[in-house]
Amino acid sequence: MTETKSSKKPATAKTKIAPEKVAAQVNQTGAEVQNNLEELLAGMRRDMRPAGAPEAAVAGQRCGLIAIVGKPNVGKSTLLNALVGQKISITSRKAQTTRHRITGMHTVGASQFVFVDTPGFQTLHSNALNKSLNKTVQGAVADVDLILFVVEAGSFTPADARVLALLGKNIPTLLIANKLDNVHRRGDIAPWLQNMQVKHSFAEFVPMSAKSAKDIERLLDICAKYLPEQAWWYAADELTDRSERFMASEMVREKLFRLTGDELPYTSTVIIDKFEEEAPQKKGQKRLLRIAATIVVERDSHKAMVIGDKGERIKRIGMETRVELEKLLDCKVFIEMWVKVRSGWADDEARVRSFGYE
């Protein structure tokens, strides 16, 4: 059931994310960035252990926090989904689809992996939205047990270098050479890896494809060695710490970007105005979620683009969102959507915060 509208219904709900930390100017040298980062981390560290997690270690159990970092569009969200075993982070060919810190859990045997997916570190624009995204990236590497630095196999760009400059030497870091399936001359990888070791003291190299189940299993085996002995933070069957409401906003945003391609600027966002759950009326029925969402764009032309000819595009966004949410959350979904213009919101720090960014 999908209803789509384009009226000016005001957004009332706000998605709030936990405070992140640390900002570094991207035009500084790597040494200056690292020094500033270390100074800020010293005063701004926080305990990332979730509330209610047991303090004492359970015999044989291992649990650790693993940050997935890299420039935009290198496959971080695809990697997280594969590691967790289920889609919890949205993917798109458009850069900057990940906006918040997404935590996903995978428990196997005695080991619990707590993965943190981050936005790609932004250097092209210095608006309020990008500053918020970069603080999320920098906060994610502040207090983890292992870092997965993701690049495209055989490639190392200035954007990759800026992200690498943020990583300290005290936390073991794996070089994830992703999209190996796109490399036609495998003989070129060995000298490239040798060159990468000069750039940073990586603990291990992992050439792989996030689409390969064998590669994902191999990566989990490697990561397990770096998990400290301590009690699990989450129940064995938990997959993410994000709410269903948050997942609904992310799913709308994914379909929005997928169906508009490169036409729509990345500054568009989604606000969930209503998220209500109704219990099944009869035995055997599934619960019902009633969702109202507002798509926020910066120009009237963008609004027309989202709505599409005779409303066809926004109807399809709603339909595909509903189908995926019903599969992901195992429920029936009724979703209605509006499109609203908020010119310059990505440059307005107060409005960026009001839309759920820190």
* CATH fold label, 2-15+243-354: GMP Synthetase; Chain A, domain 3 (3.30.300)
- Cα 139 from Cα 20, distance rounded (Å): 5
pLDDT for res 278: 93
Give the pLDDT confidence of 284-331 residue by residue, as tens digits.
Answer: 899 999 999 999 888 888 899 899 999 999 999 999 999 999 998 889
Residues 287, 62: Cα–Cα separation, whole Å: 36
DSSP-derived secondary structure letter, 309: G
- Report d(CA 317, CA 6) in Å as an integer: 13
Q: Where do the CATH 3.30.300.20 domains begin and end in the chain?
A: 2-15+243-354
Which region among 135-149, 251-265, 298-312 has the lowest average model confidence (pLDDT)?
Answer: 135-149
Of 165 and 2, more confident: 165
Decide: pTM greater than 0.75: no
| CA gap 238, 240 in Å, rounded | 6
All CATH 3.40.50.300 domain ranges in the chain, comma separated: 47-224
What token pair was written down for 261? 């391609």
**Tens-digit pLDDT profile for residues 169-226:** 888 999 999 999 998 888 889 999 999 999 999 999 999 999 999 999 999 999 999 9
What is the second-level CATH architecture of the domain 47-224?
3-Layer(aba) Sandwich (3.40)
| DSSP label at residue 298 | S
* pLDDT at residue number 119: 54
What pLDDT was estimated at residue 184? 86
